[in-house]
Amino acid sequence: MSEITKEIKEQINKRRTFAIISHPDAGKTTLTEKFLLYGGAINQAGSVKGKATARHAVSDWMEIEKERGISVTSSVLQFNYGGYCINILDTPGHQDFSEDTYRTLMAADSAVMVIDASKGVEAQTRKLFKVCTMRHIPIFTFINKMDREAMDTFELLDDIENELGIATCPVNWPIGSGKNFKGVYDRATKEIELFSDTKKGTTQGQVKKVPLGDPEVTWLIDESQRLQLMEEIELQDGAGAEFDQELVSKGELSPVFFGSALTNFGVETFLEHFLKMTTSPLPRISDQGEIDPMKEEAFSAFVFKIQANMNKAHRDRIAFMRICSGAFEAGMEVFHIQGGKKVRLSQPQQMMASERKMIDRAYGGDIIGVFDPGIFSIGDTLTTSAKKYAYEGIPTFAPEHFARVRQVDTMKRKQFIKGINQIAQEGAIQIFQEYNTGMEEIIVGVVGVLQFDVLKYRLENEYNVEIRMDSLPYEHIRWIENEEINLDKLVGTSDMKKIKDLKGRPLLLFVNDWSVRMTLERNEGLILSEFGKA
């Protein structure tokens, strides 16, 4: 076998592929934009998302996107900074939160968690965090909006540790917040980075670093604030976890940074530290063992997202894949493991800042979208390796909204079943059936409610089937890990519902958390999981 080329090795080595996770409004978009600003990919903040009209030019893929002015898709942004080639995976939030949001995390090598300093850990962050810990990837914390009144610093750190169960290690420490925000203290260099105005972040601003004892500090930071800082630092030094790169790499310790994305403060500092502490593309598990991008010369990738085109005239789909090893070249022939045949990958695309563009070459760590004639499924592997290995599949994530769905016109049963199955195959929805009732009704589960609208719209427009949806009160779904358990004998709560997926695997639906706990208590040995096996 020929050696992996120097060019490929260098290219992969400089790649950093990460996702930003946060609760809506914590500042993910603003932070992403500032990263691009520092990377020189955009000239002015405000050009990534923002005005609906500008957005339409970029993405005319989905009617719903246009109608609602929001993005149903998650995209990837690539830019260069400090010798690194950075891929930011955008995780859709707000109303467009969906299973894709979770799947995107499967393509990342690390995650940046943005937390609003006045709110601490919020619901959506908690959900996304769970997926990150499942993969043991490094997680970095950016505590944002320090220019606003913030929670006490210790309280914030405690919140992360208690809510998420990860140890924290502040790299810097904030001096005041809101009107009294003066900057951050770098615990390693013992320097203070002074907060400066950047015209609301539209310019890069000068980072001013001065030693703690500098006269300028005495002038800007009053005695009481300085004493408080010293006291806090002493406390933290004595009681907090020490920085340990190995624990960071395993996702057991999260380095914490403080800043204000809106005013640019702390963004570049974060970026610099983060890029050093995070990892280049990691080895991935396949059915033939670990595939290491530093050893494997062949191209290999797995599909983590499928984007249907909602334009009737173009029924094609785009399959997004994460390249795990080797190099990709436009038009190259690769082996599609699950399909059992060779395919040519055409129309490769990548997102550069806010533009979608065609690409010729990409490397391990990169994300590309290719034309999909309807042959790919989530989790599929593509490779040029003669070994024909398959990467570990992508789990199914717990939907939180459920509805009973049926076609209005009973004559259209066939189209309805075909359509709903195809849409489920793309991974936009999950479909279930009643357990042992003999009823043919279909229960649809989605991670984000917008997916119900997508389903309705697509069935009407692509399959010419009108549907009726009756929402169900369940919010929690659990896969039964020990499938040998006799479902007929299982004693649940009165609101619990037994269902099965298309492969006949048993699942349970619950209205609330309490019912999940009660059911576990009442059935000794029962193991429930929030993730479905791939």
Our CB check for ligand GDP shows the closer of 26 and 221 to be: 26
Minimal distance, residue 142 CB to ligand GDP, in Å: 10
Our CB check for ligand GDP shows the closer of 29 and 385 to be: 29
Our CB check for ligand GDP shows the closer of 22 and 110 to be: 22
Give the C-alpha separation, 11 to 352, whole Å: 17
**Any known ligand binding at 29?**
yes
**Any known ligand binding at 17?**
no
Alpha helices of 39-187 — where are they, by DSSP H?
A: 52-58, 63-68, 99-106, 123-135, 153-164
CB 141 within 8 A of CB 174: no
**Any known ligand binding at 23?**
yes
Minimal distance, residue 181 CB to ligand GDP, in Å: 10
Minimal distance, residue 311 CB to ligand GDP, in Å: 27
- Measured N-to-C along each axis, helices 28-38 and 267-277 cross at an angle, to the nearest 10 degrees, of 80
Our CB check for ligand GDP shows the closer of 198 and 383 to be: 198
CB 170 within 8 A of CB 289: no
| Count of C-beta atoms within a 10 Å radius of residue 503 | 7
**Any known ligand binding at 91?**
yes
**Any known ligand binding at 336?**
no
**Any known ligand binding at 28?**
yes
Which residues, 6 or more positions from 414, have their beta carbon under 8 angstroms from its beta carbon? none
Our CB check for ligand GDP shows the closer of 200 and 414 to be: 200
**Any known ligand binding at 214?**
no
**What tokens appear for 430 in the block?**
């999950």
Give the C-alpha separation, 199 to 180, whole Å: 18
**What tokens appear for 316 in the block?**
């094609």
The DSSP result for 474-526, as a single string, is --EEEEES-TTS-GGG----TT-EEEEETT--EEEEESSHHHHHHHHHHSTT-
At 255, which helix (H) or strand (E)? strand 253-258
DSSP-derived letter for residue 287 is B
Our CB check for ligand GDP shows the closer of 69 and 473 to be: 69
Which residues, 6 or more positions from 494, have their beta carbon under 8 angstroms from its beta carbon? none
Our CB check for ligand GDP shows the closer of 124 and 430 to be: 124
- Helix (H/G/I), strand (E/B), else coil: 350: strand
**Any known ligand binding at 198?**
no
**Any known ligand binding at 22?**
yes
Minimal distance, residue 36 CB to ligand GDP, in Å: 13
Minimal distance, residue 220 CB to ligand GDP, in Å: 20
Give the C-alpha separation, 339 to 379, whole Å: 12
Beta bridge partners of residue 402, listed in sequence order: 445, 472
Our CB check for ligand GDP shows the closer of 260 and 278 to be: 260
Give the C-alpha separation, 403 to 455, whole Å: 12
Minimal distance, residue 117 CB to ligand GDP, in Å: 8
Binding site for ligand GDP (CB under 6 A): 22, 24-30, 93, 144-145, 147-148, 260-262
Minimal distance, residue 416 CB to ligand GDP, in Å: 36
Minimal distance, residue 145 CB to ligand GDP, in Å: 4
**Any known ligand binding at 461?**
no
**Which residues participate in the annotated binding site for GTP?**
22-29, 90-94, 144-147
Binding site per annotation, positions: 22-29, 90-94, 144-147
